[in-house]
Chains A and B, each alone.
Chain A
Amino acid sequence: MRLNKIILSFVSALVILFSTSVASFAKVVGDKIILGAAISLTGKYSSNGVHTQNGYNMAVDRINSMGGVKVGGKTYKFDIIYYDDESNPKRAAQLAERLISQDGVEFMLGPYSSGLTKAIAPVTEKYGVPMVEANGASRSLFTKGYKYLFAVLAPANLYLDVAIETAVELNGGKGVRIAQAFEQDAFSQDVRLGILDAAERTGSKIIIDDKLPKELNDMAATLVKVKQMKPDVLVVSGHTKGALTAIRQIAEMKVDVPMLAMTHCDAAKLSKQHGKNSQYALCASQWHKSLTYKDDFFKDGMTYAADFEKEFGYDPPYQSAESSAALLVFKDAFERANSFDQKKVRDALAATNMQTFYGNIKFAPGGQNVDKPMVLFQVMCDASGKCENKVVAPLKWASAKLIHPVPKWSER
């Protein structure tokens, strides 16, 4: 009997605890709009997880200090509940579940990486929770018919599209010979599909098509093939590991290739870790501070970069910029919906058509942003060995002229 009583009181205590916690965390409390986010603060994505979080926080502070969000004649402020997903997709899905069903969050921000976004999207979709994400670019996210997922970034298959187009253009419109090496993960394989499309469209030929292992730190074999077969373009995508390994071994093995295009150069701090060896590498980027997009909150890329540097002590990678943009999109959608009804906010998000410092944002029915092209920058170094990333394509934003073909190692 006594045991029963103890169990009963324990259960009722739990019920009370949960009901109060739900009440205190509900989506809009007082003048606060509470967003939820599972972010990789530990584990293998932790550095980019932190970039994402810094981007979110920076935008929250900025929007709040500049008047907040106006809905129904009242002013609200943003607040975010963060959980650490440990870079683990299973954990991320659990946390999304927890944010929604226990903490009562009704609007979500995305995690870092395509893999984790893929794990969370089915959960937010199930509960009809609108999610604006800034770090999941995998094409497969946008072909599932998700209604509540919106991505401010361009999908992965467009990352290196521009590079192939440029190479073909420089070749007088004739197809080029492409060598490619991609890690076997969702993101890199999507980049690969984009290259396959571009090759077909331009009549280019793929002569080397290597898939790199997950624990990649040696791609000498691929580079030996490149040395022997002499392609016009070498494309590499394998997150930071891929970028660092490629540059190291290309320099060591003196591989001459007219164009080298990669992803994740700024996350890898390429020019810092490799200095002059990274010179002439072309890198796909979602954003660069020299782009001339504008908005009312961050003004433009240069101002954003300066403010970010002041607050966090480093130059913002595009992962931070796109994360900040996600908040601007949310604010805009809340104000246009003029309501906190999830369906109305969702519809307002779907109708988004705006410019932010990060780029134009307009969502396709699949949820990807179709109004913002990728940019390519090239690592350029001066005589003293100081290297800088300069935008070279598309021409509209180019701040420097593309150096092509890349000078041979024997002439450097």
Chain B
Amino acid sequence: MDFLVFQYPMITVQACLDGILLGVLFALIAYGMALQWGVMNIINIAQGDLVILGGYIAYFMYLYGIHPAWGVIVAPVIMYFVGIAIYKLVINKVVDRDLFISILATFGISILFMQLMNFAFGADVVLANSGYGTTMLFDSNVVLPNSKIFSAFISILFAVCLVIYMKKSKLGRAIRATAQNARAAKILGVDTEKVYAATFGINAALCGVAGALISITFTIHPYMGLPYTIRSFMIVIVAGLGNLPGVAMSGMGLGVFEEFADYILGTEFRIGSVFLLLVLILVYRRFKLSRKREYLK
């Protein structure tokens, strides 16, 4: 049983495709996290909760008879303003303090969001049905729900748009300048306060998109945010800040890794294996860094 992957070779193909489609979605969330981590030096523990809130927006559209796929457009717009509001209320007070303070602050926001969502939307598990159907490959041995393909496609689309925006637009350049050296950027006339607010807003908007996609492909629940925070944290750590292709690659890598861990170790070790991988990578990085340090000496 343990080696189903070898008994049924089609499972390998299925696992890779499932993993990649899932990983692209993770990468989108992670990209938002990398962005604000790089620019503002804030690790946002509430990342996953912003995702879930985005999911609820799509869900409510679905409830009122609008196709939830439109949530991909509506959720980021609403979430952008939610992001700005969080920035103005909380984050701007902790933005230049040390990392620990910001972790505490966003942890608080995370708890607050969970409880508020539970209060407002109830503790039921909900989902939005897209009615997208299924794609069958290889004599229907490999099955891909179209909702997963749709969500991967939208994730890539948003990521590409964002990269172009960052490269070409004025705000994008200001964000990148602030990330490189906030002080120098300020001296040269960049309004860093505005840049910070916009960055946080963009991150929340990305979470909104991801949330809408999750409500279409999986299920949402007020307390389901944390696994998304952890996965995106891990992807960013593996890829490093400001390394966009790295984020995409490590996102997909993580997705595939999870799927294979599921088949080989068993479903119960799926999340556990992600944590194990995180520890291994941190240890490896430390090891590499310490060697570099010796060299510098």
Contact = CB atoms under 8 A, between A and B. Distances in A.
A29 B292 CA distance: 77
Nearest to A207: B1
A46 interface: yes
B262 A254 contact: no
B134 A253 contact: yes
A184 B269 CA distance: 11
Contact of B125 (A46, A211, A240, A275): A240
B115 interface: yes
Contact of A253 (B145, B218, B221): B145
A184 B218 contact: no
B271 A215 contact: yes
B182 to A, nearest CB: 36
A221 B228 CA distance: 19
Interface in B221-269: 221-224, 226-227, 259, 262-263, 266-268
Interface stretch (A144-152, A244-252, A381-389): A244-252
Contact of A221 (B115, B134, B226, B262): B262
Most B CB within 10 A of own CB, among A220, A254, A269: A220
A227 interface: yes
A208 B271 CA distance: 19
Interface string A125-140: 0000000000000000
Given A215-B224, A220-B18, A222-B267, 10 more contacts: A210-B268, A212-B268, A213-B270, A221-B18, A225-B4, A249-B145, A268-B124, A269-B124, A273-B129, A274-B129
Interface string B101-129: 00000000000000100110011111101
Nearest to B18: A220
Given A43-B118, A181-B267, A211-B268, A240 B226 contact: no
A254 B146 CA distance: 12
A227 B268 contact: no
A253 B227 CA distance: 24
Interface of B: 1, 4, 8, 10-11, 14-15, 18, 22, 115, 118-119, 122-127, 129, 134, 136, 140, 143, 145, 147, 214, 218-224, 226-227, 259, 262-263, 266-268, 270-271
A217 interface: yes
B55 to A, nearest CB: 10
Interface size class on chain A is 35 or more
Contacts of A225: 4, 11, 263
Contacts of B18: 220-221, 224
Q: Give the interface centre of B14, B134, B219, B223 by most chain A CB atoms within 10 Å.
A: B219
A25 interface: no
A47 B122 contact: yes
Contacts of A253: 134, 143, 145
Given A221-B263, A268-B125, A228 B219 contact: no
Given A215-B227, A252-B145, A240 B124 contact: yes
Contacts of B143: 224, 227, 252-254
A336 interface: no
Given A215-B226, A253-B143, A184 B268 contact: yes
A45 interface: yes
Contacts of A43: 118, 123
A228 B118 contact: no
A114 B99 CA distance: 40
Contacts of A248: 127, 129, 218-219
A213 B147 contact: no
Interface string A201-215: 000000110111101
A90 interface: no
A220 B148 CA distance: 11
19 contacts: A43-B123, A47-B123, A87-B123, A207-B1, A208-B1, A210-B266, A210-B268, A211-B266, A211-B268, A213-B270, A221-B18, A224-B143, A225-B4, A241-B219, A244-B219, A249-B145, A254-B136, A268-B125, A269-B124
Contacts of B22: 218
A224 B11 contact: yes
Nearest to B133: A252
A44 interface: yes
Nearest to B230: A215
Contacts of A222: 267
Among A46, A47, A218, the one with the most B-chain Cβ atoms within 10 Å of its Cβ is A218
A249 B218 CA distance: 9
A42 interface: yes
A312 to B, nearest CB: 15
